[in-house]
Chains A and B, each alone.
Chain A
Amino acid sequence: MSEVILKTENLSRTYTMGKRSIPALADLNLQVEKGEFVAIMGPSGSGKTTLLNVLGCLDKPTKGKLILDGVDVAKLPESKLYKIRRNKIGFIFQTFNLLPYLNARENVELPMEGTVKSGSERKQKALKLLELVGLAGRGEHRPQRLSAGEQQRVAIARALANDPAIILADEPTGNLDTENKYEIVRLLANLNIDRGTTVVMVTHDSQVASHTERMLLLKDGRIVKEKQGLHLAKKKRMCPYCGSKIQPNDERCPSCKKRL
């Protein structure tokens, strides 16, 4: 039986604007198993980002339970939440959010400051992670000298720094061109396949979402639809379109030539 890494029970988040209460999440129930690659989709204002913020302990739910790696974090104080964020969650943002005055390696090292004491150890790990995301030799480059796709790779490496239980990605391809968009999705998919990293990705791009394992459609703060994605086949090294055998790094299916 698969291990549940993330579970919400009647999760609600209501914003108050003056005298008005606006429910961003309404009794949302969600379950993500370890090693899953899930996409959350929905139109603007459906509550995608709010859900991701709550799941990532950046925002507190108004009501309900949020169980992360076996711990109900919904009511934890900030003095404990920062450790959850640091040790169990890896964040990827639409705008990358790299610190411009640090180079790529230093950006990746940043989350490890509270977990890895040795500076050289941090450095070694950061360089390995950069290699993992295809940026070997670019560690000393500042974000300004990297392309958008490369910056997002650095952000992915940073998210992996503390070997988190789950990676939460908020529109990770939103600021990328088509080529880079698929590169990043493929990178996340490969991390999921190779390392078993659980990924929950918010996107409004259905094509990007289709490359995940499970797509959840959010509307008015509730999950209204769930759909299987192409990733499940890829996990079995099969082309989801023609069933031919594929390799993890294949951009297109060798047989049907469709983009993977």
Chain B
Amino acid sequence: MGALTRAGRNLSRRKMRAFLVVIALGFSLAIMISLPAGILANQQSTQGLTTDYNNAVSQMEQELTLITVTNSSSSTSPSPGGGYGGYGGYRVFGGFGGEGNYMDESVADDINSIKGVVAVVPTLEVGEGITTETFTGYGGNTFTFNVSSYTIEGVPLNSSLIAGNYIPLPTNITAGRNLQTGDSGVVVLSQNNTGYFDATVGGEVNINGTNFQVVGVHGESGSSGFALGQAADVRTLYMNLTDAQAVSGLTGQVSTISVYADNSSDVSNVAQQISGLFPEFSVTTEESELQTIENSYNSTLAADQSAISSTQTVAFEEIAVAVVATSLIVLFVMLYTVRERTKEIGTLKAIGFSNWNVMSQFMLEGILLSLVAGIVGIAIGSVGAPVLSGLLLPHISNPFGSPGGRSAGGGFFVTRSGGTPGAGVATAVSAAAPSPELMLIALGAAVVLGALGSLYPAWRASRTRPAEAMRYE
């Protein structure tokens, strides 16, 4: 019959008391492991979001090496290809002042010689199948619009540009094949135009008197999944740039020159040089967009860090309270136990127990009680960490915007793999789960706090004078 067995027997002797004390201590210890788990979950969430944002920004930095050169000398008219994104219907242009302005293709060669330029892609975008539509508006005013039935996108089919993925070819080929290097006299038709031309893969389409063989059909839609600089008109017909120039009577002309800088840091310099060489052209970069996103990212991160930091402070305070509460519970329970068992202490001393024997007996009981409570606390913490963290940690307003939303000015979806897009730290505690290391630490803490809490009562027990203890009733 060892001291440990006696300690166990004593605890089980008063089951209801032991149960209540273990539950109280267990909750205290559960708080000790739940809050760090909650904070860890918050930090991991922030880390995940930071990684996502870093990835997004670096992806954008790569993509934002694009410089778009257009001829904007006729400012009242939107130049063809000047806007991104399709409208899901007919392209409308020219209603306010004729067609856009084109540039000589040789401009592309001049830009290509600028240092820091890796690729130059001249493209020609022309609205075709034009009909005139009249619209009577409020008050009887009549507006006349030129409406194109489809758009020709002439792209250079240069092997190195295609290999470098610089050519804005359709990506969603639903039938046949895409355009290839050296293709001539062929087109990739929009799925929406197969009816208009009454042609499909293998058939022919007639454009301004010239027949083109349809080699593929694309299903590009205008509302999602497009990258910067890539037009996605749902009625776009892709063909060789030379063919496009010939069929639209714009030989040697291009509407847009997409210039790709070596890296994002060169963009500004290259754009300046282009503007210097061709002051009459409009040169636009995506830098400001990048800056906006970076600013947004930085402020988001700062807000998040600050929120986490304040949460940590509160958590530390609460853990400190739990630690003190645990020690005090053990202290009071053991003091009561010592008082209640004074006569027993007297008996033990009378039959030859030393002060140390008595002290270790009571300390062992306190430690055992805390150890059992530690196991219960771990069980409670494992299951209830999200609830306890949610209840005890301050709520953090989601600094990353609404779930699934676009980041400010970015036009990018920032998503976490396997997580809720832009969920932020506010909901992160729901994933709080104490790690095995944390559980071991909690068990260690339970033992230490049990020992600390029972130290004084056990010492008092050991100092009890046997003769007085025997008289105690």
Binding site for B on A (CB under 8 A): 53, 56, 58-59, 78-79, 82-83, 85-87, 91, 93, 97, 99-102, 106, 109-111, 113-115, 119, 158, 161-162
Contact = CB atoms under 8 A, between A and B. Distances in A.
With a 10 A CB-CB cut-off, give which of B343, B355, B466 has the most chain A CB atoms: B466
Contacts of B465: 58-59
B352 A101 contact: no
Contacts of B467: 53, 58-59
Contacts of B163: none
A29 B9 CA distance: 44
Contacts of A91: 350-351
18 contacts: A53-B467, A53-B470, A58-B346, A58-B350, A58-B467, A78-B355, A82-B355, A85-B350, A86-B351, A86-B352, A91-B351, A97-B347, A97-B350, A99-B347, A110-B348, A110-B351, A113-B357, A158-B351
A113 B1 CA distance: 8
A97 B343 contact: yes
With a 10 A CB-CB cut-off, give which of B346, B351, B353, B465 has the most chain A CB atoms: B351
A111 B352 contact: yes
B218 interface: no
With a 10 A CB-CB cut-off, give which of B346, B349, B350 has the most chain A CB atoms: B350
Contacts of A99: 6, 344, 347
With a 10 A CB-CB cut-off, give which of A82, A111, A158 has the most chain B CB atoms: A82
Nearest to B467: A59
A247 B348 CA distance: 37
B435 interface: no
Nearest to B357: A114
B13 interface: yes
B354 interface: yes
A85 B349 contact: yes
Given A91-B350, A111-B352, A101 B6 contact: yes
B298 interface: no
Contacts of B470: 53, 58, 93, 97
Interface in B422-451: none
B1 A162 contact: no
B343 A114 contact: no
Nearest to A85: B352
Contact of A56 (B343, B350, B354): B350
Contacts of A86: 351-353
B10 interface: yes
A86 B350 CA distance: 8
Given A58-B470, A59-B465, A106-B1, A100 B352 contact: no
Nearest to A111: B351
A102 B13 CA distance: 10
Interface in B1-33: 1, 6, 9-10, 13
Given A101-B6, A106-B1, A110-B1, A82 B347 contact: no
Contacts of A79: 354-355
Contacts of B351: 85-86, 91, 110-111, 158, 161
Contacts of A53: 466-467, 470
B344 A82 contact: no
B347 A101 contact: no
Contacts of B13: 100-101
Given A53-B470, A102-B9, A109 B1 contact: yes
Interface string B297-337: 00000000000000000000000000000000000000000
Contacts of B343: 97
Nearest to A112: B352
7 closest A-B pairs (Cβ-Cβ)? A86-B352, A59-B467, A101-B9, A97-B347, A58-B466, A111-B351, A58-B467
Given A58-B349, A59-B465, 8 more contacts: A85-B351, A86-B351, A91-B350, A91-B351, A97-B470, A101-B10, A101-B13, A111-B351
